[in-house]
Structure 1
């Protein structure tokens, strides 16, 4: 490094953050927003299930952000938090599957036309 204004090739703390650009964060944010609306509409607000589902969705989103912010100083922490995010979103998925099963409703497969329609919403600019 000859010039004081040049950035070092291998900085002590690599770039980190930028989680809002991650597709995983963007998807988790959509899941969180949709979960809040779904739970408010279909699950008793006073029930433990309502709180657990909303918190699982929030945890998924927040842990992706926190992991991204920690990545500059600890890859181990980043991976741990991403693992927590995945586990939280899996917990939410199980709660949703339980909801459908208990009401005798079918789960749409990934290729079902309704699933495809909803998945497209994730890539629209003003969802």
Structure 2
């Protein structure tokens, strides 16, 4: 699926942890739809649009970093809503197939959160999670964990500091994730 990634490197947006999560979620959604929902094109289209819209909103919010704080927060809010709608699709998939959903403190969810910080500035970000090899249940649960992480990061970004540069990947590498942070996934 390497040819399907249509969101390329976008300058300073790439250093934003929430943007990194968004790109990973977008790539994962493309692969998930191709592997597991190819018989349901309308659902795939809807999921892909939500993931793409969230990433675009994040990118726009970074480009507006010198502009009106209220406009930036509105874009971050739109991204958060899109991610949560996407999460609902993954949860519905798990429920429909009668697959278990991971709790935030389960080992698998904690591993996904830890691995997220290793993705940083990798071009092969979706391959880092082996999306092409995961089972449907593991894949959907991984996406849910990444979405929860992205929404948490967006909340931090919009409430703690209006400057997106402070939410950079480099900052994440200096400050290890806490147990509470990992449980949010």
Same fold (TM over 0.5): yes
Q: Distance in 2 between matches of 1:118 and 1:76?
A: 32
- C-alpha distance in 1, partners of 2:30/2:113? 18
Gaps of 5+ in 2: 1-10, 123-127, 129-185
1:115 equivalent to 2:80? Answer no
Q: Return 5+ residue gaps in structure 1 as ranges.
A: 1-16
Find the counterpart in structure 2 of residue 8 from structure 1: none
- Work out the number of aligned pairs and report it: 111
More contact order relative to length (CA 8 Å, sep ≥ 6): 2
Partner of residue 60 from structure 2, selected from 54, 58, 66: 66
Does the 8 A contact of 1:30 with 1:122 survive in 2? Answer: no
Note the C-alpha offset of 1:77.
1.4
TM-score (norm 2): 0.55
TM-score by length of 1: 0.79
Aligned pair partner of 1:91 in 79, 85, 103: 85
Look up the match of 1:20.
Answer: 14
The CA deviation string for residues 65-95 of structure 1, in whole angstroms up to 9 with x for no partner, is: 1111122122221111111000000000000
Q: CA deviation at 1:19?
A: 2.2
Residue pairs, 1:42-57, within 5 angstroms: 42-44=36-38, 47-57=41-51
